[in-house]
Amino acid sequence: MALPQALENYRKQYRKIKLFQDVASVLHWDSEVMMPEEGREYRSAQIAAVAELTHDWMTDPSFLKQIQSAKESIGELPESERSLWNRELEVLMEEKEKADKLPSEFVSEFAKVTNLAHAEWAEAKKAKNFQAFAKRLEELVQLSKKQADYFGYTTEPYDALLDSYEKGAKANQIQSLFSDLKKSLVPIVATAPKFKNPFPGPISIDKQTKFCNRLPSLLGLTTKESRLDTSNHPFSTSLGKGDKRITTRYSETDPLSSIFGVLHETGHSLYESGLSAMSNWPTPITEFLSLGIHESQSRLWENQVGRSLPFWEFVYPILLSDFGLTDKELPFKELYQYINSTEKTKVRVEADQVTYNLHIILRFEIERDLINGKIQVKDLPEIWNTKMKESFGLTIDNDAEGVLQDIHWSMGAFGYFPTYTLGNIFSSQFFKKFTDEFPDSHNKFSTKGDFSDLLGWLRKNIHSKGKIYDVDTLMNQTTGESADSKYLISYLNGKIKEVT
């Protein structure tokens, strides 16, 4: 039967908002990948204008009337369809109520400042000089505190920002989870083996690019719907249906940096591609569920697949050919051990899968205190360096390898970091369930490079669910239990035994 007109009208307005949000994504992608340096200031104004426009549409009283009319007309539908429509409008109202709390001028200012901040962060990182970014970062912190006040909170400002990435999450709950996880990780780090870089010499960017360009299609993301480029910080973004963008960065001395960057970002784009394939896309429930779930998809393909023996048994001959190496120059065993080596490093994106979560815990603790007013921006380098010494026993030599290494604060993305470790927890649990259901999957991985069973499982159980359920319900429906870090610890312990 045809949809009631009120439902058609509401979706038409929602899809206009979504179209312009995707236009903003195009502007952001271009500013990080293609835009000439002198275009930054005007581009920030363009992004701010689109952000303000979509915010105004979302908060317009006439849109609320459309939503209310749509909700009233749900009763005209068959009973079997009403539950999903109610959930769709429930999710939208949650998003709208949050948007209603932010004045348009604040949304515009935040979008403009974060776009300008990225360029200043990149220059400060290049110069290894925190002071060149400190003033802008202070502005971002104040804007983020203001945003938290607009959203409202019960216990602490950081909760309001955390909720934007992981709905319902509270900082004290995250702190408890991370504290228990850290206790389990410390002994693993102490016993985990370290292996040296086996590459016989520098590998040119051209050779790495050739190999990296193969990876998205291998995992299931075709070149017809995606492209790979280079940026200062690897990222992925969806520009709309059939258009997923991935970036990575290259190191001639350690090609694994670019390879795992591509695997990680491909995981994000596969999730977005799956969401785009949902019925009636785009609607409020065809969006990603949470950043933790989003990160679970990238970390699963990066670690559980990308660091597995079956994956490398298949791609090893291809890598040798693309890199112009022989198996004597790059022995398989030495390469695989290095891929799964554990070593305390200064830079998060180059961290191994064991110590990575310690990097996240460090950032969570710092940004929580920063937003809650317990520490000041001017003291960040000293605080960062002290925590690195305490947690890793490492001395930071300059700000680029210390407090300036991550892009997130220049984006105003306070509350984002914890989702990486939540993603690691979720991904281990998802992959364990998948392998229980597909015990022969490793043979398809190693002999054919066939990952279709895994992608199909993710499409069915996670991608096609969008925001229909909350995180805990999705975890229970997919794995039979709530999220539990024991699967991550079990995976890491098993990986260490495998390469020792």
DSSP labels, 171-210: HHHHHHHHHHHHHHHHHHHHH--------SS---HHHHHH
Backbone angles phi, psi at 324, to 5 degrees: 70, 40
CA distance 193 to 216: 30
463 is in an annotated binding site: no
Give the list of residues 6+ apart from residue 128 with CB closer than 8 angstroms, or none: 398, 399, 400, 404
CA distance 96 to 416: 21
Instruction: Yes or no: say if 218 and 259 are a contact pair by the CB < 8 Å rule.
Output: no
CA distances from 114 to 126, 184, 410 (A): 18, 37, 6
Instruction: Yes or no: say if 124 and 133 are a contact pair by the CB < 8 Å rule.
Output: yes
Respond yes or no: is residue 265 known to be catalytic: yes
81 is in an annotated binding site: no
313 is in an annotated binding site: no
Q: Which amino acid is located at 227 in the chain?
A: R
Residue tagged 């559980």 (tokens): 304
Instruction: Yes or no: say if 265 and 234 are a contact pair by the CB < 8 Å rule.
Output: yes
Give the list of residues 6+ apart from residue 44 with CB closer than 8 angstroms, or none: 111, 112, 113, 115, 116
Judged by phi (left if over 0) then psi (alpha if -120 to 50, else beta), residue 238 lies in beta
Three-class secondary structure of residue 430 per DSSP: helix
Instruction: Yes or no: say if 354 and 185 are a contact pair by the CB < 8 Å rule.
Output: yes
| Closest by Cα among 13, 129, 132 to 62 | 13
Instruction: Yes or no: say if 434 and 489 are a contact pair by the CB < 8 Å rule.
Output: no
401 half-sphere exposure, CB direction, 13 A CA radius: 10
User: Cis peptide before 282, with omega less than 30 degrees from 0?
Assistant: yes
Neighbours of 379 (CB within 10 A): 11
- Longest Cα–Cα distance of the chain, Å, equals 71
Handedness of CA 451, 452, 458, 459 (dihedral sign): positive
| Closest by Cα among 420, 385, 381 to 124 | 381
Residue 303 has what DSSP assignment?
A: I
Instruction: Yes or no: say if 339 and 198 are a contact pair by the CB < 8 Å rule.
Output: no
Q: Give the active site residue among 32, 52, 88, 265.
A: 265
Query: Rg of the Cα trace of the chain?
Result: 23
| Residue list for the binding site | 264, 268, 295
Residues that are catalytic? 265
| Residue list for the binding site for Zn(2+) | 264, 268, 295
